Structure 1
Amino acid sequence: MYSIAASSFFSPKLPKNLPFHNPNRPLFAIVRSSSVAQEIDKSSEERTESLGLKGLEFPAIKGAKRVVLVRHGQSTWNAEGRIQGSSDFSVLTSKGESQAETSRQMLIDDSFDICFSSPLRRSKRTAEIIWGAREEEIITDSDMREIDLYSFQGLLKHEGKAKYGEAFRQWQIDAPNFIIDGHYPVRELWARAKSCWDKILVHESKSVLVVAHNAVNQALVATAIGLGTEYFRILLQSNCGVSVLDFTPQPEGGTPSICLNRLNQTPGSPVAGGSSAGRKTSKRIVLVCHGVSESDLESSMPYTGNGPLNMLGNIQAQKIAELLLDLKVNTVVSGTKIASVETADTITKVQEAADCLGADCIPRYVETKQIPDLDVESILTQSKKDAPGLQNLSSGWLNRLEDDVNTSLWDQSGKSWKHLLYELSKGSDQDNVVIAVGHPALHIAMMGHCLNLTKEWLGSFHLNAGSITVIDFPDGPSGRGVIRCINYTAHLGRWSIPITRSTQADEEY
């Protein structure tokens, strides 16, 4: 094992909202809190010059590259509720070792060229378990350590609250602007994440495993797809959760196209439990991509949903329904296409029968709705792009559609998202779980609306048939959504797509 030294263990103070640039994104973002929408213009020449970050880009790559991020298993300080930061006093618990072994089994058939790891013991041990008997050395890099929390490190959460009062409150509710010991930890972390990507992308490898920590993995995901520090704690990273990013070279060189293929595929169920980033939540939307239909084999557009589910689609629907038994679902909504309706029906029947094991029981009622606004297939079929590429559903495939098609998709999905938030708002303060079944393109676009992005981000996310995406609302439907997982497919078992299988043509540029 060998190491890469940190560029600076204690980073200098940095300005907020660093404008990391991905060529497929506009140089601005709309940032929304629970009650305020603020537009931050990132295209200003004067602003970027004052930050000293003008022209900041990712290194060009010669061929497609896939990077798999894994958070370490449960540590002793995780179990104690102690603030770890970049300290190195905690080690994996027996549960953490078991989680790492589960991740090893999940990735055992997947090929990696190289493994990068944080040097901290809890991460390095997780990497060693997952890496197993592979001959290549693990590269440790200090820039992949956890967020530096300075005087907070080692404190129990109630101790931090008692000792630091207002500063601890700011860390909880406004982390990007949180300052301690003269440092802005989240802003420093975002800058450090960019440094990590520079080193990962210049390495001559096609498939990379990175084992690190909660906050740094959040920063790696966010900076890759062009999101600023305001997205801290919005893209969850559970213990041993797996996230995948695809990097595709541009023919003209320069910064590659980047797509988040999946987020936080965990060893355990993604729908069990009721907290997000340590906050209790009773409101949740689960986006379900319908199973494969008979017509998908004949259509030029993937997952048209016009025909009934085929054998694989029925298996996918059943597996989804079984996974969702960990939830008490209130409402299942879908579009009107046959594949969506049949997938929704399977979920509903399993939910209603779940509590009815005795002869005298009364099945629980689950409300079902078919909403035409959730149908986007007619929009997608307006595209005149070559069908073979679309049928493969490679990462970022929505980028290849015409601008007017994506504009229509974006506008339609905005209406769909409002329908879901309305359904979620029912029932006062009671628990409410809404399942939405539809086309992958619809759900990708609705995720964009949830994150308050624009249509230029449509190619930044990927979903497969039969996958689920979970969004929690700890502050209720009017608050920010917290993404618990994206494109979760572990429930499909042998019918799921291997995590490191390339989704791009193996082509040199």
Structure 2
Amino acid sequence: NMSTCATPSSPCRCRGSGSPSPVLPSRHAHKNRRLTRTLRRPSSARGVGLGTSARAARLGVMDGVGTIVDGSWCDEFAHLNDRLPHEPLALPQINSTCRVVLVRHGQSTWNAEGRMQGCSDISVLTEKGQGQAAKTRDMLMNVKYDALHHSPLKRAAETAQIVWGDGRDGSPVHVHASLREIDLYTFQGLLKNEGVEKYPDEYALWKDTPADFAVDVGNSVHRPVVELWYRGSLAWQHVLEDADGGVAESRLVVAHNAINQAMICTALGLPPRFFRKVLQSNAAASALTFSPASEEGGQVGVSVGAINATPGVRSLRPRSGAPAQVLLVRHVDVDSKDGYAEASRVAVLLRKCSVSTVCACTSRNTLTTAGALVEELRAKPPPIGSFVTSAETLDDLEGGESLLRTKSARLLVMENLAAPEGEAWQRSSEAWAALCEEADAAPIGSSLVAFASAEVIAAIVCRALGVEDSQAPATIASLQGDMPYGALSCILRPKGGTEGFLRCYNTGTV
């Protein structure tokens, strides 16, 4: 049961039929335009095989990348008229809760070569990429889906088939052109060093301020990231369209790095300047839950379950030679029957992350969770050094300055990691500044771990990403909503920098 969904067709300028008018599809406008086709496993050919449509071939698009015809960009998606520099659409109204798991495709041949892919359809999965997709399938084995939605590009379609797996006969499968990767026009197919050589000024914008990045295409100037944000919001119209049956549903979406970022950010109301601030690794999974608006015409509720989660600790291990990363961990509930066991589980996981500094406030739950990590490091010293302390037990700890000092790791009590309910955002500036200072002093290639409450962690993430005051309350509410005890999140930042990048959020909880 497979359908193909696209935005409403309009005249394609590359065929000389005039300028199309912007199309803002209604929520159900495309239902009757779906075309049934058979799901086929992508060709096993590697690095060759263009898979272009007959229509694209007639237009001269024979390389799977695209070309300029009569002053306009022309490829198999040109007729959709969805490359628009418009403000993102609001999330569609829904009548039932819907959980969506977003997966990026596994490593592709062009990923391995370092080529800029965009919406081109030449690259396919490498053997490593197929393995990554299989591991993600295993990670998501216990997640039940009611439908699959995926990009039409081969690298995503192959990943979708692997992750979707067998035994789901009868479940609908939808292919949406809106889920394709970012449109990079003449940059598509370039090696990164070729982009620097051929388009030095434009490439500098692409790397440094991508929201301002513009490409001259024939008679037009396109802003790829701004267009992507609109298309990300359009993709939500397609994915959430049928979430009105009155029962909770779960959907799997398999797409690409940039479009996944745009979908996550538009769901949270974050503008295009957040491009590249929410990382999406090959075959990583993110999860968002949407709930009906509390009043007619109100905003649809969004709760983040995970962002960029990978099997094991791949998204938590520090990068060799990089400044210390900041790991944020929600404390456990020590009064629950599994509280201490959960604290020990988190400690064992963090032991693999080259921990150099442990930070916590003086609350019982937070100190106990931090203490479990201290005991784990004391019993099994991390590779970067042995753990020594003058404190015999957790009861010896008191608030104030550094309390446990080690040859390469220490436990700090930081009162700014605590905040009364509703005051986390106001206190997060001070907390994030203190964490940045400690991270700058930590060894290269290590991890600073901070234990805190869900609200404080969500506020620190917003502060690290540069969320503005006006947007912070809504974003914090979305981030803290589905955060379980023991959830781990990771922020990367340049040494001395105040803004960072979200490497993963609530990993291990998809």
Q: Tell me which residue corresponds to 2:311.
A: 267
Q: Tell me which residue corresponds to 1:123.
A: 156
Aligned-pair CA distance for 1:210:
0.6
- Is 1:195 equivalent to 2:239 in the alignment? no
Q: Tell me which residue corresponds to 1:487.
A: 506
Contact 2:360 2:367 in 1 (8 A): yes
Secondary structure at 2:103 match in 1 = strand
Q: Give the distance between the partners of 1:325 and 1:11, measured in 2 at CA.
A: 53
- Is 1:414 equivalent to 2:429 in the alignment? yes
Contact 1:271 1:324 in 2 (8 A): no
Secondary structure at 1:264 match in 2 = strand
What are the superposed Cα offsets for residues 292-322 of structure 1, whole Å, 9 maximum, x if unpaired? 211xxxxxxxxxxxxxxx5522222222222
Contact 2:103 2:283 in 1 (8 A): yes
Q: Give the distance between the partners of 2:497 and 2:310, measured in 1 at CA.
A: 27
Aligned-pair CA distance for 1:442:
1.3
Aligned-pair CA distance for 1:355:
4.7
Secondary structure at 1:161 match in 2 = helix
Aligned-pair CA distance for 1:417:
2.2
Paired residue type of 2:305: N
Contact 1:90 1:121 in 2 (8 A): yes
Q: Give the distance between the partners of 2:429 and 2:496, measured in 1 at CA.
A: 15
Q: Tell me which residue corresponds to 1:288.
A: 329
Secondary structure at 2:423 match in 1 = helix
Change (3 A) 1:488 1:430: closer
- Number of matched pairs: 405
Q: Tell me which residue corresponds to 2:35.
A: none
Unmatched 5+ stretches in structure 2: 10-76, 389-405
Q: How does 1:437-448 map to 2 (within 5 A)?
A: 437-448=451-462
Paired residue type of 1:283: A
Q: How does 1:167-246 map to 2 (within 5 A)?
A: 167-181=202-216, 182-204=221-243, 206-246=249-289
Q: Tell me which residue corresponds to 2:368.
A: 342
Paired residue type of 1:374: L
- Is 1:256 equivalent to 2:300 in the alignment? yes
Secondary structure at 1:202 match in 2 = coil
Q: Give the distance between the partners of 2:355 and 2:140, measured in 1 at CA.
A: 31
Aligned-pair CA distance for 1:338:
2.1
Aligned-pair CA distance for 1:67:
1.1
Secondary structure at 1:151 match in 2 = helix
Q: Tell me which residue corresponds to 1:351.
A: 377
1:457 maps to which of 469, 475, 490? 475
Paired residue type of 1:262: A
Change (3 A) 1:96 1:256: same
What are the superposed Cα offsets for residues 104-133 of structure 1, whole Å, 9 maximum, x if unpaired? 122222211111000001101111111124
Change (3 A) 1:286 1:212: same
Choose 159-168 or 213-222, whichever is displaced more.
159-168
Secondary structure at 2:252 match in 1 = strand
Q: Tell me which residue corresponds to 1:4.
A: 5
Choose 460-469 or 348-357, whichever is displaced more.
348-357
Secondary structure at 2:338 match in 1 = helix
2:184 maps to which of 149, 172, 177? 149
What is the root-mean-square deviation in Å for CA atoms of aligned residues? 2.8
Change (3 A) 1:452 1:321: same
Aligned-pair CA distance for 1:361:
11
Q: Give the distance between the partners of 2:322 and 2:211, measured in 1 at CA.
A: 22
2:137 maps to which of 104, 111, 128? 104
Change (3 A) 1:432 1:341: same
- Is 1:433 equivalent to 2:477 in the alignment? no
Q: Tell me which residue corresponds to 2:171.
A: 136
Q: Give the distance between the partners of 2:421 and 2:110, measured in 1 at CA.
A: 46
Q: Give the distance between the partners of 2:264 and 2:382, measured in 1 at CA.
A: 42
* Greater Cα radius of gyration, structure 1 or 2: 2
Q: Give the distance between the partners of 1:190 and 1:11, measured in 2 at CA.
A: 19
Secondary structure at 1:461 match in 2 = helix
Contact 1:373 1:412 in 2 (8 A): yes
Q: Tell me which residue corresponds to 2:70.
A: none
What are the superposed Cα offsets for residues 55-77 of structure 1, whole Å, 9 maximum, x if unpaired? x5222111111111111111111
Aligned-pair CA distance for 1:482:
0.2
Q: Give the distance between the partners of 1:331 and 1:361, measured in 2 at CA.
A: 11
Change (3 A) 1:347 1:241: same
Secondary structure at 2:355 match in 1 = coil
Q: Give the distance between the partners of 2:92 and 2:136, measured in 1 at CA.
A: 29
Identify which of structures 1 and 2 has the higher relative contact order when contacts are C-alpha pairs closer than 8 Å and 6+ apart: 1
Secondary structure at 2:504 match in 1 = strand
Q: Tell me which residue corresponds to 1:84.
A: 117
Paired residue type of 1:451: L
Contact 1:19 1:228 in 2 (8 A): no
Q: Give the distance between the partners of 1:211 and 1:156, measured in 2 at CA.
A: 25
- Is 1:61 equivalent to 2:94 in the alignment? yes
Aligned-pair CA distance for 1:10:
4.2
Q: Give the distance between the partners of 2:314 and 2:285, measured in 1 at CA.
A: 12
Aligned-pair CA distance for 1:286:
0.6
Paired residue type of 1:63: S
Aligned-pair CA distance for 1:17:
9.2
Q: Tell me which residue corresponds to 1:423.
A: 438
Contact 1:270 1:484 in 2 (8 A): no
Q: Tell me which residue corresponds to 1:321.
A: 347
Change (3 A) 1:415 1:95: same
Q: Tell me which residue corresponds to 1:165.
A: 200
What are the superposed Cα offsets for residues 257-314 of structure 1, whole Å, 9 maximum, x if unpaired? 1122210111352445656xxx9742311101112211xxxxxxxxxxxxxxx55222
Choose 120-129 or 337-346, whichever is displaced more.
337-346
Paired residue type of 1:478: G
Paired residue type of 1:336: T
Contact 1:13 1:183 in 2 (8 A): no
| TM-score using structure 1 length | 0.73
Q: Give the distance between the partners of 1:352 and 1:7, measured in 2 at CA.
A: 62
Change (3 A) 1:274 1:373: closer
Aligned-pair CA distance for 1:229:
0.4
Secondary structure at 1:459 match in 2 = helix
Q: Give the distance between the partners of 1:361 and 1:456, measured in 2 at CA.
A: 41
Q: Tell me which residue corresponds to 1:467.
A: 487
Q: Tell me which residue corresponds to 1:333.
A: 359
Q: Give the distance between the partners of 1:339 and 1:469, measured in 2 at CA.
A: 18
Q: Give the distance between the partners of 2:161 and 2:81, measured in 1 at CA.
A: 34
Change (3 A) 1:14 1:187: farther
Paired residue type of 1:447: V
Change (3 A) 1:94 1:289: same
Q: Tell me which residue corresponds to 1:36.
A: none
Q: How does 1:374-393 map to 2 (within 5 A)?
A: 374-376=417-419
What are the superposed Cα offsets for residues 119-166 of structure 1, whole Å, 9 maximum, x if unpaired? 001101111111124432321111100001111111211122122222
Q: Give the distance between the partners of 1:434 and 1:141, measured in 2 at CA.
A: 41
Change (3 A) 1:189 1:107: same
Aligned-pair CA distance for 1:438:
1.4
Change (3 A) 1:228 1:438: same
Contact 2:326 2:449 in 1 (8 A): yes
